[in-house]
Amino acid sequence: MSIADEVHAAGAYVREADGERLDGALAGFIGRFVALAFSVCRAAIEDGDGTRTEEFSAVIHTGQVQAGVVPADDAAVAVYAVEMLDLPTLRGGYASLVRAKQLRKARLPPGPRTNRTLTILLAQRTDLAMEQIAEEVERLNAATPDAAWLDVVAVATIGTIQYAIQFPGEGLGGGFLPPAEGALANLVPPMYVVLTIGTTGEWTLNRVLALIIAHLWIFATGAGLQRWDGITDGVSNTAVVVTGYQYTYASGALVPVPAEMYNGRYIAPPPLEIAAPDGQVLGTVEYIPWQDGGVIRMRGTLPLDALLIFLGPMPKKVASVKRPDGELSLVVPITDEGFHELLQTFQRQSNLVVREPQVNWVIQKAADEGSESPFMARILIGTLRLRDAVYPKPNERTAFDARYDVATAALFTARSAAQEVERVWTEHAQRVVSGAVARVDGRAIRVEESIEQELRKQVETFLNASVRAVKQGMHDLGRELGVEIGFLFQKQGSFDAGVAVLDATDAPLASYLRATRSAWSEALVQRRNAIEHVGWVLSAPQYRRGPSGVEVVEPEIDGRGASAYVTSMMDRVACFVEEFTTHCLQRLLTQDITVTEVPRGDRVTVMPERFHITPAIGGLPRWSISYHATSFEET
């Protein structure tokens, strides 16, 4: 039996214990793997000032227990265990564990050790979604100094809520352990501390024990703790990011990452090149904004320290941190303007040249909308977040991006054309009714403005682009993602045969495609084909006498006014692009995670994405594709 299997089997006593036996089962489980080096018991914790906590289900400690009390300096880990976790229990457990964190401890000399007490809230089960628990932890964190934050919430059969580290431009790193008191007094690390939901299921106690042992190694370095390599072998490493924090320069406190710095809202300028006198590029350098300062990133052969020496004296340590693709500075108190002044000083006092990149970078405005627009947040930002979950490495995304770009380019064109149809018609109709461009002249009606050609052009553009978005864009993207829908655009017999085959492997999508074809896609394709095959054009507006002047009748497409037709079809095409793409990506996610639909009222105003990643077990309800006739804005 592997050590991972051994830990999992031992954890069954904790997962299955009734209320009266839970504390004993927990102490027995942990003690089995830390015995001799540490003791485990139900106890309170007390500091030298006489401040005492309530009793915890398990305290892992060195030294002796006196009358059920562990001295604060000896308390390595405190575990608050419950059978059922609800929000009141979470708040109560959080508050109790905060008190353990806030006990006074003897200060340690500088070194690898920590004197922090790791705090864990462990539940056997919960009816809450893990996101609900994480959101409550985030809210409690906002009212609590970061040094006292709860370190882990674990639901034994579902997963964990804990912190991970993440360096700028990189994926999630390892778990975050609380540093010793004062360890960050003289430096600010260039990393995010990210609150995550771990999708470990029945193997959650393996993850918890691994974190405990990692902490014990730096709590008592000479305690003789046995190594237990392999505890998490085969355990899921998939995590859902909830929110991120940064250390501030001035106070060293962990505070939320500003909303404008999240992916989808912040566009970094291109890095600058540092070149030798002969023109050879030695590296690139860029500035990364931080809470009250910045981080400098260097890539290439030139060491970052060669630049940092020009910063001069600073209140806190200035140093470089090596990363896989370059170096990062510790956080330094400079702005973007100060960064460019530093580069000018560096250039003046060296024989090196700082210059704009020789390769052209194009940062082009895509639309007069930002992330607050539901269309931009959902079609671009939200979908690309889901893509990242399927393809975490940037070099894996090329094929998806190429095909999705075809669909979204056509979708943007169709949307612009639909908006123009609406604008041209509405403004003309208003001018006609007001008499500004039309009047009755005897038996004749005089109209001094023509919109016929513009309406025809925009309608034709809309029909061509919307069909291209679906028939070429979605068809090719689906094929890339392993879903064939070519039959949707074929004759009825071929469609019936193709959708019947799909029924056997993906019944929800088959049902969705049947409804799509019946409601609008076949009619849209036929209307577009009529332009090419039978020379169809939009009819001209009709003018007639009315009770108070001239009235204008809007030309129709398939029984609807042209503006209402393109608006309605645009909704259907946009929903199809979003929903079909999401469904295809959902199929490719690992078994630990899935997609959930965020209710409209719960979407964040600055980026109202419709779909999020959620744990497959213990997360929010799983979204399943189904047809609807609701407008894009109202879904």
CA dihedral 59, 151, 33, 23 (to 10 degrees): 40
Q: State yes or no: pLDDT of 490 exceeds 90.
A: yes
Strand blocks (E) in 398-474: 438-441, 444-447
Q: What is the pLDDT of residue 262?
A: 65
CA dihedral 631, 633, 634, 635 (to 10 degrees): 90
Within a domain: residue 66? yes
DSSP character at residue 469: I
Q: Cα(42)–Cα(32) distance, rounded to whole angstroms?
A: 15
Predicted confidence (pLDDT) per residue in 496-545, tens digit: 999 999 999 999 999 999 999 999 999 999 999 999 999 999 999 999 99
Of 167-171, 471-475, 596-600, the poorest mean pLDDT is in: 167-171
User: Smallest Cα–Cα separation from 214: which of 60, 44, 10, 41?
Assistant: 60
Q: What is the pLDDT of residue 625?
A: 98
| Domain end residue (candidates: 320, 355, 390) | 355
Q: State yes or no: pLDDT of 263 exceeds 60.
A: no
Within a domain: residue 163? no
Does one domain contain both 472 and 343?
no
Within a domain: residue 264? no
69 contacts 46 by C-beta, under 8 angstroms: yes
Does one domain contain both 344 and 386?
no
Does one domain contain both 581 and 475?
yes
For the chain, the domain total comes to 3
Determine what percent of the chain is predicted with pLDDT higher than 90: 84
Does one domain contain both 490 and 599?
yes
Of 102-116, 294-308, 413-427, 513-527, the poorest mean pLDDT is in: 102-116
| Domain end residue (candidates: 234, 256, 283) | 234
DSSP character at residue 269: P
User: Smallest Cα–Cα separation from 298: which of 264, 315, 321, 331?
Assistant: 321
Region 452-457 average pLDDT: 96
Q: Which residues of 383-409 are buried (b: 16+ CB within 10 A; e: fewer)?
A: bebbbbbbbeeeeebeebeebbebbbe
Cα-based angle 410, 411, 412 (whole degrees, multiple of 5): 90
Does one domain contain both 296 and 225?
no
Region 247-265 average pLDDT: 81
Q: What is the pLDDT of residue 364?
A: 46
286 contacts 357 by C-beta, under 8 angstroms: no
Q: Cα(596)–Cα(109) distance, rounded to whole angstroms?
A: 48
How long, in residues, is the chain? 635
Within a domain: residue 189? no
**pTM across the whole model:** 0.88
Which band of pLDDT confidence, cut at 50, 70 and 90, is reported for residue 368?
Answer: low
Does one domain contain both 472 and 351?
no
Does one domain contain both 446 and 407?
yes
User: Smallest Cα–Cα separation from 123: which of 166, 168, 93?
Assistant: 93
Within a domain: residue 177? no
The C-alpha R_g of the chain, in whole angstroms, comes to: 31
The phi, psi pair for 44, rounded to 5°, reads -95, 170
Helices and strands in the chain: count of H runs, count of E runs: 16, 24
574 contacts 603 by C-beta, under 8 angstroms: no
Q: State yes or no: pLDDT of 110 exceeds 90.
A: no
Q: State yes or no: pLDDT of 370 exceeds 90.
A: no
Question: Residue 333: how many CB atoms within 10 A of its CB?
Answer: 16
DSSP character at residue 116: P
CA 355 to chain centre: 34
Distances from the Cα of 158 to the Cαs of 93, 125, 139, in angstroms?
Answer: 19, 8, 22
Of 137-146, 217-226, 406-415, the poorest mean pLDDT is in: 217-226
Q: What is the pLDDT of residue 367?
A: 55
Question: Residue 500: how many CB atoms within 10 A of its CB?
Answer: 11
Predicted confidence (pLDDT) per residue in 313-332, tens digit: 999 999 999 999 999 999 99
| Domain end residue (candidates: 355, 390, 410) | 355
H helix runs in 126-252, sequence order: 130-142, 204-219
Does one domain contain both 478 and 602?
yes
Distances from the Cα of 318 to the Cαs of 63, 179, 310, in angstroms?
Answer: 39, 19, 11
Q: Cα(53)–Cα(47) distance, rounded to whole angstroms?
A: 9
Across the strands, what pairs with 567?
A: none
Q: What is the pLDDT of residue 265?
A: 47
Q: What is the pLDDT of residue 264?
A: 46
Predicted confidence (pLDDT) per residue in 414-439, tens digit: 999 999 999 999 999 999 999 999 99
Predicted confidence (pLDDT) per residue in 587-615, tens digit: 999 999 999 999 999 998 888 999 999 99
Q: What is the pLDDT of residue 362?
A: 46
3-state secondary structure of 44: strand
Scanning the structure block, which residue is given the tokens 């965020």? 598
Position 203: which residue type?
W
DSSP character at residue 538: P
Position 531: which residue type?
I
Q: Give the highest mean pLDDT range of 269-283, 431-445, 560-574.
A: 560-574
Region 247-266 average pLDDT: 79
Q: What is the pLDDT of residue 359?
A: 59
Q: What is the pLDDT of residue 260?
A: 72
Tell me the pairing of strands 69-71 and 556-557.
unpaired
H/E run at residue 391: none
Q: State yes or no: pLDDT of 361 exceeds 50.
A: no
In 3-state terms the chain splits into helix, strand, coil percentages (rounded to 5) of 40, 20, 35
Task: Quote the tokens at residue 220.
Answer: 């008592």
CA dihedral 13, 15, 16, 17 (to 10 degrees): 70
Predicted confidence (pLDDT) per residue in 389-422, tens digit: 999 888 899 999 999 999 999 999 999 999 999 9
Predicted confidence (pLDDT) per residue in 25-42, tens digit: 999 999 999 988 899 999
Within a domain: residue 430? yes
CA 342 to chain centre: 34
Question: Residue 609: how many CB atoms within 10 A of its CB?
Answer: 18
Residue 341 sits in which domain range?
A: 272-355
Which band of pLDDT confidence, cut at 50, 70 and 90, is reported for residue 578?
Answer: very high
Within a domain: residue 222? yes
3-state secondary structure of 259: helix
Does one domain contain both 117 and 205?
yes
Q: Cα(124)–Cα(363) distance, rounded to whole angstroms?
A: 50
Within a domain: residue 399? yes
Across the strands, what pairs with 284?
A: 273, 299
Does one domain contain both 340 and 380?
no
Which band of pLDDT confidence, cut at 50, 70 and 90, is reported for residue 360?
Answer: low
45 contacts 75 by C-beta, under 8 angstroms: yes
Q: What is the pLDDT of residue 560?
A: 96
Does one domain contain both 472 and 445?
yes
Does one domain contain both 457 and 492?
yes
